[in-house]
Amino acid sequence: MEIGIGLPAIRPGPYGHGMTEWARRAEERGFHSLGVLDRLVYRNYEPLVALAVAGAVTFRIRLATTVLLAGYRGNTALLAKQLASIDHLTGGRLTVGMAAGGREDDFAVSGANYHDRGRRLDAMIIQLRDLFAGHGDIGPQLPDGGPPLLIGGQSPAAIERAARYGDGWIAGASSGLPYRDLVRTVREAWTRCGRTERPRLVALSYFALGSSATRRAEEYVSDYYAFAGPYAWKVLADVVTDEAAVRRRIAERAEAGCDELIFFPCVHDSEQPELLADIALQN
């Protein structure tokens, strides 16, 4: 199983150079990919801009939207051009993870309809596939049909969407169901849709390591998930904050068939990639 790490793009510091240094360290230590989260009504960096910056200072590590909330982005042609540009400029390192989204405020401020977001996402995915394949004069042109496309979400509709349109599926950092059961459901949906190739399975997990890790994780989760009510406490309970917990999370996901586990930081200190690498990347 491959190990990735999220960029510290959710709560930026006073200057952006901390994120570029994080990206360099992640590549040097051997992480498989850099992930980025998406939210409009918050203090985070715009995810595609963050990935482009990370891609400019790295050479091998993959770049992943995990996940991009495409439903509030109304122009599919523009989104296709942005994604294709990142993939082309970084030598084909992009993986596109997409989901419908679940925060109404993101849709309200962008003028998008929240209630038909799933249907519109289905249509966007079909159009993206078509544009990535070179149908239409929207470039740059990409080889092999463009970047891998993974679908996020744990609802029956999201899993069905992954099986119909995706190259794989992304599990969020917290769920009411065991990861193993979700994987089984995804594989059953894959078979039901007549898919013969194996889905790529990616999972996310929050982490915080070092001094006062638990307290700082609570500060992050209670702020970022303030909209979520009791669900925020479920997210907090799933944050890994010490070596033993990181190792357990890796073992559990690997045993369930996960192809890549991406750890997202609750703490954005520069030593977090080093602390995680010392645990997660040991052979």
8 Å CB contact between 69 and 101: yes
pLDDT digits (tens, 9 = 90+) for 71-119: 999 899 999 999 999 999 999 999 999 999 999 999 999 999 999 999 9
Q: Which of 183, 215, 210 is nearest to 199 (CA)?
A: 183
- Which domain range does residue 37 map to? 2-280
Helix (H, G, I), strand (E, B) or coil at 53: helix
Q: What is the CATH number of the domain that holds 81?
A: 3.20.20.30
8 Å CB contact between 261 and 3: yes
Any idea which of 15-19, 49-53, 122-126 has the lowest mean pLDDT?
Answer: 15-19
Exposed (0-12), middle (13-18) or buried (19+): which is 210, by Cβ within 10 Å? middle
pLDDT digits (tens, 9 = 90+) for 203-229: 999 999 999 999 999 999 999 999 999
Number of structural domains the chain divides into: 1
Element spanning 151, H or E: strand 149-152
d(CA 82, CA 146): 12
d(CA 211, CA 205): 19
Confidence of residue 15 (pLDDT cuts 50, 70, 90): low
Helix (H, G, I), strand (E, B) or coil at 35: strand
Q: pTM higher than 0.95 for the full model? A: yes
Which residue reads 């950092």 in tokens?
Answer: 173
Average pLDDT of the chain, as a whole number: 96
pLDDT digits (tens, 9 = 90+) for 127-155: 999 999 999 889 899 988 899 999 999 99
Over residues 151-160, mean pLDDT: 96
pLDDT at residue number 57: 98
